Structures are given as structure tokens and as C-alpha cells.
Amino acid sequence: MFKNRLKHPVFGLVAEATAETGLSAYVVGGWVRDLILGRASKDIDIVVEGSGIELAGLIAQKLGKPHKLVVYKKFGTAMLKADGWEIEFVGARKESYRSDSRKPIVEDGTFEQDISRRDFTINAMAISLNSSNFGELIDLHNGMSDLEKKAIRTPLEPDVTYSDDPLRMMRAIRFAAQLNFNIDCESFEAISRNAKRISIVSIERVMDEFNKIMLSPYPGKGIKMLRSAGLLKEFFPELDAMQGVEVVEGKAHKDNFFHTIKVLENLCENSDNLWLRWAALLHDIGKPRTRQFDAKVGWTFHGHEFVGSKMVPRIFKKLRLPLDDKMKYVQKLVLLHLRPIVLSETIVTDSAVRRLLFEAGDDIDDLMTLCEADITSARQEKVQRYLDNFKMVREKLAEIEEKDRLRNWQPPVSGEDIMETFGLKPCKEVGAIKTAIREAILDGIIPNNREEALQFMMKEGKKLGLQPLHSPN
């Protein structure tokens, strides 16, 4: 019995209204699942045998506190918002599907029909809100036992469930990744058989689920499932292509897919930033295209960071991900992901550190977090050695940053300064002097301040045969 856990006043009002009207109402789906799992949620779905809109109207009248009621006549639903809660009232319905669309033909139905059209048994439980048996759990498809077994299973035949609405395949894997559940064997096989049908779902919806997997506690688990079910190659072939190992002359390279998954999992321990997680997912995406076997050194992936960063905009566009600064951020991290390793392996010069600070700007800390996640050796002493090296790089970065303030660096002398001093219009000499000043600062030839930069500008101008109109100011 869940009577004592139906605390929101709306539940009591619904019970009152069912007694007055003879309508039946149940709280269903995700809210019930999350209640049992102890995950708080403010999204409530209420199924009504009869008109959901009528019941919502009655509740709104009874509520007597500030609220907002929105009625969607066309869909037969109503949304009541109060105290940050969103309560949706829907008439019970049954659905029938056509093969070319995941949008069903919807008709009024019974509560049982409504429940059995739901995607998974764990999402098909209901709690009665009727005054006669208020708070009683109605579990027609053994959802409770599947919750205990941590199993994702469909109420009806899985092939039918997934074929009708292929988005459910993404949802199955998303719930597995969010809840650390397993997908029932028969269900998983049905997903594998129906994977190609994901093509009838819009890429936006697919990616909505994919990003929920990315943000979940177990994204690696989810993405591995996507691959082994054959879904990944349908919408994200570049990632799928990372899998596999080739052996030439007895030499194998590491499997880039599983390496990537490990990096993503490492990163997730330290960051819940979706786009940093995306950078981890894509950091080696250029490897399959740059892979070469060299008889002397074995497998190489020269330039994979350049090729990878060039692939980012195309991938984002195809997957309808944002093309704004989020994409640029991912692209930048993919491009720079080897640089801290280079810094850790050589005797670090100040100028190499300055250049990295200049190029990474405010994203330098995220870049370091990504690089630390990129250490996937199974040998603990090796991992520790790399981590210690990166610690030194971080210290060096902090030291140079403190001294030179190169994050989001603006040159201390502008193009206007140069034009004004030498009486020039925009021309290539202006660009050449600007570049020379930037390089001199990054190389540590002059300090990062205006006076020294102006003097350097005068010298560079002289070299180009320019006459200043006045001394610099």
C-alpha cells in the first residue's frame, strides 16, 4: 500500500473527485517507478478512465491555490502546474501502429489497455487514486519483480513492442544506463533484430535519448549496449567504426572503441559536463582514418587529433547537436588532447606552456581533466607515473598563468595602435607586426605588457622600413 506516500494534495483531491463523478483515476508510469526506487520526481502522470480534461478541470477548481491549467483538446490531455509540480491528466487509450511511423492511431481504451501499451514492465505499474482502493499498487505485468531483478522487459511481445515504436529500443538502453539495470535477453535479441527500424525515428529523438545515456551514471554501459545491439552503426557509424583490432606481423593496436569507453567512464567520475563527456567520446574519432602500419614502429595514428577535430562539425551537424560554442569547445579539446602529454614527456619550456595556455584559454582545466581520463593503462604504477606527470604540468600551467596571465589573452598592442603609429591603412605589414609581437610574447622574448610590446613594435616597424609618425603611446 502506498497510501502514506501519496502526499501531494492533488492525490487526495483526485480521490474525492472519483467518488463524486464515478470516474477512475490512477497515477502511472515513471513517477510510480521512481517512487518505489526512492528517486524524487515532480512529474506526475494520471490516467483517467473517461475524460482526463474533465477530471483536471474539477481538480483545478478544488485546488484553491495558485496554479496553471493548460488543456490540449486535440490530444485529450490537460496539464496542471502547481508548486513546481507538473501533473498531466490523460484519458486511458489504446493504440494501433502502421509500419512506416512510430505515431500510433489512438483511440479511447480501458485502463488495462492503456497499461499494456507502455514500454517496459517497470514503467507499467500504477497506483490507484480511486476512493475505493486509494493507494493500492496495480501491477499487471510484474513490474515490481523486474524492479527487484533490475530487469528491463516489455509487457507485450518484445518484437511487436520495438517494431511498433523503435524509439523504445533507445529508451530500454537509456533506462539500463540510468538505473544500472540489465535488458532481458529476449528483449535484447528483439532490439538486435529491429535495430534497422530506428531509421523511422527522427534523429532529434534518438539523440535526446543518447544524451540522456551520456549524462547517466553508466554511459559506457549504455553505449556498449547500443553497439552490440547494432543500433549505434545506424545513427553514429563513426563511433561504431572505432571497434576492432587488426594484427599485422603479430602486432595489434588497442581497440579504440573500448579505449574510448574507458576514457568516458574515467571522465564521468570527475565531471558531469555533457560537452566534456562528448569531447571524451570523440577524442580519438580520427583514429580509424589515420591508422597506418609501419614496419619499424608498428601501428601509428599520426594527426588523428587534427582529422578528429575536423570531423566534429560534420558529426554534430548530422546528429543535430548544437553548432555553437559547445561544438567549438568539443572541437578544441579534441584538437588539443595530446598537447599536455607532450608537455609531460619533454623538459617543459615556459614557451610551450604559454602556447598551450593561449590556445586552450579558459578550457585548460577541462583539457587536463580529459587528459587524465585518457590514461587507461592496466598497470597501476604506469597510471600513477602519468598522473604525477600531469600534476607537474598542472603546476607549471598555474605558475606561468600566475606570471603571464595568458588565459583569454588579448594582445597588449592592437592593429589600430600599429596603423596609428606608422600612419598605415590595413595592410599585410600590420598583420606581420601583430604576429611578431604575439610570437615574441609566447616565446618569452618580451614580457606580456604594453610598454615592452610597443618598443618591440617600433623595432619590427624599423625592420620593415616603416617610419613612425610619433613615438609610441
Binding site for ligand ATP (CB under 6 A): 29-30, 43, 45, 118-119, 123, 165, 167-168
The CB-nearest residue to ligand ATP is 30
- 398: DSSP letter: H
- Give which of Mg ion, ligand ATP, none residue 123 binds (C-beta under 5 to 8 Å, depending on kind): ligand ATP
Shortest Cβ distance from residue 43 to Mg ion (Å)?
A: 4
Q: What is the DSSP letter of 408?
A: T
Q: CA-CA distance, 390 to 393, in Å (whole number)?
A: 5
Q: Which is nearer to ligand ATP, 35 or 336 (CB)?
A: 35
Alpha-carbon 418 to chain mean position: 45
**Set of cell numbers at residue 438:** 604575439
Task: Identify which of residues 123 and 256 has a Cβ nearer to ligand ATP in the complex.
Answer: 123
354 binds, among ligand ATP, Mg ion, none (CB under 5 to 8 A by kind): none
CA distance 349 to 422: 34
Q: Which is nearer to Mg ion, 43 or 439 (CB)?
A: 43
CB of 206 to ligand ATP, least distance (A): 12
**HSE toward the beta carbon, residue 80, CA cutoff 13 A:** 29
Count other Cβ atoms within 10 Å, centred on residue 216: 20
Instruction: Compute the least distance from the CB of residue 191 to Mg ion, in Å.
Output: 21
Name the residue number minimizing CB distance to Mg ion. 30
> Three cell numbers at 285?
574519432
Q: 172 or 453, CB closer to ligand ATP?
A: 172
The candidate with the shortest Cα–Cα distance to 285, out of 316, 260, 262, 254, is 260
Q: How far is the CB of 167 from ligand ATP (least distance, A)?
A: 5
The rounded Cα 400 to chain-centroid distance in angstroms is: 33
- Report the alpha-carbon distance of residue 202 to residue 342 in Å, rounded: 42
**Cell numbers representing residue 50 in the block:** 473517461
* CB closer to Mg ion out of 64 and 84: 84
- Residue 308 binds: one of ligand ATP, Mg ion, none (C-beta under 5 to 8 A by kind): none
* Residue 118 contact partner, candidates Mg ion, ligand ATP, none, CB within 5 to 8 A by sort of partner: ligand ATP
400 CB-near residues (< 8 Å, 6+ apart):
350, 353, 354, 357, 406
Residue 114 binds which one of Mg ion, ligand ATP, none, with CB within 5 to 8 A depending on kind? none
For ligand ATP, which is the closer residue by CB, 174 or 283? 174
- Give the residues lining the site for Mg ion (CB under 5 A): 30, 43
Residue number, 168 or 227, with CB nearest to ligand ATP: 168
Q: Is 201 helix (H, G, I), strand (E, B) or coil?
A: coil
Least Å distance, CB 133 to ligand ATP, is 21
At closest approach, how far in Å is the CB of 321 from ligand ATP? Answer: 19
Query: CA 71, CA 288: separation in Å to the nearest integer?
Result: 52
Report the run of H or E that residue 418 belongs to, with start and end: helix 415-422
- Choosing among Mg ion, ligand ATP, none, which partner's interface includes residue 157 (Cβ < 5 to 8 Å by kind)? none
Beta bridge partners of 251: 248
Angle between helix 450-463 and helix 415-422 axes, rounded to 10 deg: 50
Minimal distance, residue 317 CB to ligand ATP, in Å: 26
Q: Which of 222, 227, 236, 208 is nearest to 152 (CA)?
A: 222
* Interstrand relation of 182-183 and 151-152 (parallel, antiparallel or unpaired): parallel
Grid-cell match 598605415, residue found? 424
Give 29 or 109: the residue with its C-beta nearer to ligand ATP: 29
Q: From the list Mg ion, ligand ATP, none, which binds 168 (C-beta under 5 to 8 Å, kind-based)?
A: ligand ATP
Instruction: Map grid coordinates 537509456 to a residue.
Output: 174
Looking at the Cβ atoms of 165 and 240, the one nearer to ligand ATP is: 165
Strand-pairing partners, residue 105, are: 96
Partner in contact with 468, chosen from Mg ion, ligand ATP, none, beta carbon below 5 to 8 Å by kind = none
CB closer to ligand ATP, 119 vs 238:
119
By residue count, the chain amounts to 473
Q: How far is the CB of 23 from ligand ATP (least distance, A)?
A: 20
167 binds, among ligand ATP, Mg ion, none (CB under 5 to 8 A by kind): ligand ATP
We find the least distance from the C-beta atom of residue 126 to ligand ATP, in angstroms, to be 9
CB of 56 to ligand ATP, least distance (A): 17
